[in-house]
Amino acid sequence: MQQIFNFIYKNSNRLLFLLLLGISLFLTIQSHSYHRSKVISSANFLSGGVYERINNVNEYLNLRTQNDALAQENAKLRSLLFDKKDTTSIPKLDSIRGLHPTDIIVSKVIHNSFNSHENYLTLNSGSLQGVKPDMGVINSLGIVGIIDNTSPGYSTVVSILNIKSQINAKLKKSNHFGSLGWNGKNTGFVQLTDVPRLASIRKGDTIVTGGQSVIFPENINIGTIAKIEVDDQTHYYTIQVKLFNDMTNLGHVYIIKSKDREEIINLENKRKKDE
Amino acid sequence: MNSALFVNIFRFLLLLAVQIVVFNNMNFLGYISPFPYILFIILYPVNSNKSGLLAASFFLGIIMDMFCNSGGIHTTACLVLAFYRPYLFRFSFGLSYEYQTVKLNDVLTPERFTFILLSVVIHHFVLFILEAFKISFFWDILIRTLFSTVFTIIICIIIIYLIKPNKR
């Protein structure tokens, strides 16, 4: 017994090191292995509050660009209105699902990272505003990411610039789809893989979100084709997509709350259970 | 004793704050950012409590991870650096470092530079390995380690010179 105590006393530093190292490696491996199981994230009172303060200061510095972006978005929406035959006509009411299948929550990016392989954003709205994990996040130019963790006041977003992110996307002109990921290299480009060779694609074609995703509505802009490669092993296309969004400069974003999402997921789970 | 404790707590908070507010937003060429917060571990008093250092670096890393959304990579890197610090001292200052009064917070000598260089390299290498977590990013890890190390060392040395108590 004495020897055990002696051993522990003599090696107390080493044991403490191993214990703490075990905890930290556990956190590391967990954050890499699972899609969403972060124990420690910046969606909390402390870091969210700090980032909000910092952002309050930074916001003044790019008010002008934010204003320009908003004015452009307004102009685009205006032009949609002008196309209508009758601007006063009310959209048709769907008596089962209500007026819109999706709701939108406006939010602001208070922290943005784009320099590592796994990038996350922090937003200043959380579960009190109705934000839940796995909601889509877009802005006026295109998609931004998917909600990861939420706290009462803040939420974190898996950016599309994250090697773990996988989003269903398709060509705008045909319905050939693939999955959109990031290879961790350039912040301006993402990769669309598994597009069949049958698809006729050209440089400059637009890529939009696909209809298979329950997170994003269909036809939200992502980017244009910059380079087309053919994978040696699978013989599918791997397409370099130039993003419409500048992911290094994000201000206001919209969180998409899909009303059909739960219904679709429940239905699919039911089928899995039956099998 | 107490003043040393206060200096350390002050350094801990100040370096973390500066790292989060300023240096985390520095992205030289898009992906090179410095991590001078590890100066806390480098400048920790040589003969002080070692388990205290381990616990402090654990919290230092975990706060960084919380702000960077990075799981446990900063924590692991800080712990490894804190644990191997005595060996680095022995390597750069010779066997009898414990009996000398090693002061890092002073004019840059080759020994001090070796120590800072090795500490930063070890920390950054562990950090970037765990961040990529894939062997296919090997060259990427090396390049990031190299550039970030240079960047961090330059900033560390500038900070040391700035906060150096002026005696003469």
pLDDT bin (cut points 50, 70, 90) of residue A96 is: low
pLDDT given for residue B159 in this prediction: 86
Query: What is the tens place of the pLDDT at every residue in B89-106?
Result: 888 877 766 666 666 666
By the CB < 8 Å criterion, does A33 face chain B? no
> How buried is residue A25: exposed, middle or buried, by Cβ count under 10 Å (0-12/13-18/19+)?
middle
- Mean pLDDT score across all residues of chain B: 83
A58 plus A158 within the same structural domain: yes
Judging contacts by C-beta atoms under 8 Å, the chain B residues touching residue A26 are: 72
Contact of A38 with chain B, judged by CB distance below 8 Å, is answered with: yes
Q: Which residues numbered 42-81 in A keep a CB inside 8 Å of some CB on B?
A: 42, 44, 46-47, 50-51, 54
Residue A198 domain-assigned? yes
Q: Which domain holds residue A111?
A: 45-84+92-162+249-259
Flag whether A274 is in a domain.
no
ipTM of the complex model: 0.81
| A266 found inside a domain | no
Collect all residues of chain A within an 8 Å Cβ-Cβ radius of residue B65.
27, 40
Same domain, A103 and A200: no
Same domain, A128 and A254: yes
pLDDT digits over B132-150, tens only? 877 777 888 888 888 889 9
Report the gap between the CA of B167 and the closest CA in chain A (Å): 35
Is the same domain home to A235 and A254? no
Nearest Cβ partner for A32 among B68, B79, B133: B133
Query: Same domain for A172 and A117?
Result: no
Q: Which residues of chain B have pLDDT under 50?
A: 168
Residues from chain A contacting residue B151 (CB–CB below 8 Å) = none
Q: Based on the fold, state whether residues A141 and A183 are members of the same structural domain.
A: no
pLDDT at B76: 92
Residues A68 and A116 in one domain: yes
Spatial neighbors of A100 by CB under 8 A, at least 6 apart, are A259
Q: Which residues of A touch B83 (CB under 8 A)?
A: 13, 17, 21
Q: How many domains does chain A have?
A: 3
Query: What is the rounded average pLDDT for all residues in chain A?
Result: 82
Would you call B30 and A16 a contact, using CB atoms and an 8 Å cutoff? Answer: no
Asked if B71 and A31 come within 8 Å (Cβ–Cβ), the reply is: yes
Whether A220 and A253 share a structural domain = no
pLDDT digit string (tens) for A139-189? 888 889 999 888 888 998 888 888 888 888 888 888 888 888 888 888 888
Please count the other Cβ atoms lying within 10 Å of the Cβ belonging to residue B99: 8
On whether the CB atoms of residues B36 and B160 are closer than 8 A, the answer is no
Which of A8, A14, A40 to mutate to probe the B interface, most B CBs <10 Å? Answer: A40
Minimum-distance CB partner of A41 among B61, B69, B140: B69
A121 and A217 belong to one structural domain: no
d(CA A122, CA B90): 43
Within a 10 A sphere around the Cβ of A225, how many other Cβ atoms? Answer: 20
> Which residue in the set A21, A42, A156 is minimally distant from B76, CB to CB?
A21
Chain A interface disruption, residue of B25, B47, B66, B69, most A CBs within 10 A? B69
Question: Where are chain B's structural domains?
Answer: 2-163
Q: Is residue A76 part of a domain?
A: yes
What are the start-end ranges of the H helices in B30-72? 39-43, 50-68
State the CATH number of the domain containing residue A221. Answer: 2.40.10.350
- Helices B2-21, B50-68: crossing angle, 10 deg rounding: 20
The tokens describing A75, both together, are 């102009």
Q: Please indicate, yes or no, if residue A212 is contained in any of the structural domains.
A: yes
Q: What is the Cα–Cα distance from B86 to A144, expressed in whole angstroms?
A: 45
Q: Are residues A139 and A253 in the same domain?
A: yes
Minimum-distance CB partner of A47 among B50, B66, B72: B66
Q: Are A74 and A186 within one domain?
A: no
Q: SS3 helix, strand, coil % of chain A, rounded to 5?
A: 30, 30, 40
If you measure CA to CA, which chain B residue comes closest to A52?
B21
Q: Which of B103, B79, B82 is nearest to B93 (CA)?
A: B103
Contact B131 A117 (CB under 8 A): yes
Q: Assess if residue A38 is contained within a domain.
A: no
Instruction: Give dist(CA B51, CA B141) in Å, integer.
Output: 30
Percent residues over pLDDT 70 in chain A: 91
> Which position has the token pair 């329950």?
A214
For A30-82, what is each residue's pLDDT tens digit?
877 766 556 677 777 788 888 888 888 888 887 888 888 888 888 888 877 77
- Cβ pair A189, A83 in contact under 8 A: no
